[in-house]
Structure 1
Amino acid sequence: MPVNATLINLYHICHRELWLHAKGIRMEHTSDTVYEGKLIGNTSYQQRPEKYTELEIGGSKIDFYDARNKVVHEVKKSDKAERAHLAQVKYYLWLLEENGVEGATGILEYPKLRQTEQVVLTDKDRSDIMDWLTDIDLILARKECPGLLNKPICQRCSYFDFCYSAESG
């Protein structure tokens, strides 16, 4: 499976979920948290589909791209995984650059929090992305699934039952 923005996001959250997702083991359809995030993304900026385009690039899909101003808009439910969200937007910007779109920027939006964050791609980000891609390839090449994180974020994860079904009380 080629690396896409979802895998970049998951790389910054949980290597186990990254590996499972890439292997086709998907649990998002069972998650109220994922459903709520999609609902927020679809209802917060209802005029967006008329103003911006959906862009598929390098195996990734940017939901809202302002081609005239070269701005990626990414809507998220909460800022709990902000590092992963920033990485995802930076990866979009890198993909655009790799495909000849210079000077694109991003806006990370948290409508429930009424917050936005400007995102730009730096030389350090470009270097980091190359490291992420190498690490992701190594994780995906593993024959065995990475271990459990066992962190508070696991409680809200769509893979929680899958990961902890064999755990005792």
Structure 2
Amino acid sequence: MQITGTHFNYYQVCHRKLWLFANGINMEHTSDLVAEGKLIHENTYPFRSDKYTEIEIDGVKIDFYDARNKVVHEIKKSRSHEEAHEWQVKYYLFVLKRNGIDGATAVLEYPTLRKTLNLELSKDDDEKIVEMRRQIEEIISTPNCPPLLNSRKCRNCSYFDFCYSGEGEELPL
């Protein structure tokens, strides 16, 4: 299985979400928050696709890549899960580097907040990514779904209804 930026993002957020996604249970299409994020992505920079390239490499899809300046642009709706966003984008940089594109950087953009975050890949990041990738592969290959996280962040997750559909589960605070 190809490991994607989404796997890295979900690994940071919730191992259960990661496992469900990797095993073909996709709930993003049922989420209003995901739909809102897609609208922001599509409408914030309407002419960006004319200026930048979309690339797909080793299972990673980068929507906006400035090939001339070697900059990945990633748009996110909010800063919740910011660390997950950072590792997702650093994984993109890792894949680019592994494919001979050295020195690429990234800009995480939060247009509704009018904030940006510049990112680079360090040697320590390379080592962490290799270890995270190993852990991701281990999690998604296990036969059993990881347990509920049962956190406040679950309430805004596209998998919320799936995870809390059974009787007797306590809802997160």
Separation in structure 1 between the aligned mates of residue 111 and residue 167 of structure 2, nearest angstrom: 36
Aligned-pair Cα RMSD in Å: 0.8
Q: Which residue of 2 aligns with 1:77?
A: 77
Amino acid at match of 2:132: W
Q: Which runs of 5+ in 2 are unaligned?
A: none
Distance apart, 1:161 and its partner CA: 0.6
Number of residues paired by the alignment? 169
Q: Which runs of 5+ in 1 are unaligned?
A: none
Separation in structure 2 between the aligned mates of residue 13 and residue 158 of structure 1, nearest angstrom: 12
Separation in structure 2 between the aligned mates of residue 137 and residue 60 of structure 1, nearest angstrom: 16
Q: Which residue of 1 aligns with 2:90?
A: 90
Q: Which residue of 2 aligns with 1:102?
A: 102
| 1:54-87 Cα distance to aligned partner (Å, 9 max, x none) | 0001101000000000000000000001000000
Q: Secondary structure at the match of 1:117?
A: strand
Q: Which residue of 2 aligns with 1:55?
A: 55
Question: Is 1:30 the counterpart of 2:30 in the alignment?
Answer: yes
Separation in structure 2 between the aligned mates of residue 167 and residue 161 of structure 1, nearest angstrom: 12
Q: Which residue of 1 aligns with 2:126?
A: 126
Q: Percent identity among equivalent residues?
A: 56
| 1:71-123 Cα distance to aligned partner (Å, 9 max, x none) | 00000000001000000110000000000001000000000100000000001
Amino acid at match of 1:3: I
Q: Secondary structure at the match of 1:29?
A: helix
Q: Which residue of 2 aligns with 1:41?
A: 41
Distance apart, 1:167 and its partner CA: 3.8
Separation in structure 2 between the aligned mates of residue 147 and residue 58 of structure 1, nearest angstrom: 30
Separation in structure 1 between the aligned mates of residue 167 and residue 54 of structure 2, nearest angstrom: 41
Separation in structure 1 between the aligned mates of residue 2 and residue 25 of structure 2, nearest angstrom: 16
Q: Which residue of 1 aligns with 2:5?
A: 5
Separation in structure 2 between the aligned mates of residue 140 and residue 89 of structure 1, nearest angstrom: 20
Q: Which residue of 2 aligns with 1:18?
A: 18
Structure 1 length normalisation: TM-score? 0.98
Separation in structure 2 between the aligned mates of residue 6 and residue 60 of structure 1, nearest angstrom: 9
Q: Which residue of 2 aligns with 1:139?
A: 139
Q: Which residue of 2 aligns with 1:65?
A: 65
Moved over 2 A (4+): none
Distance apart, 1:137 and its partner CA: 1.0
| 1:2-39 Cα distance to aligned partner (Å, 9 max, x none) | 21111011000010010010110000000000000111
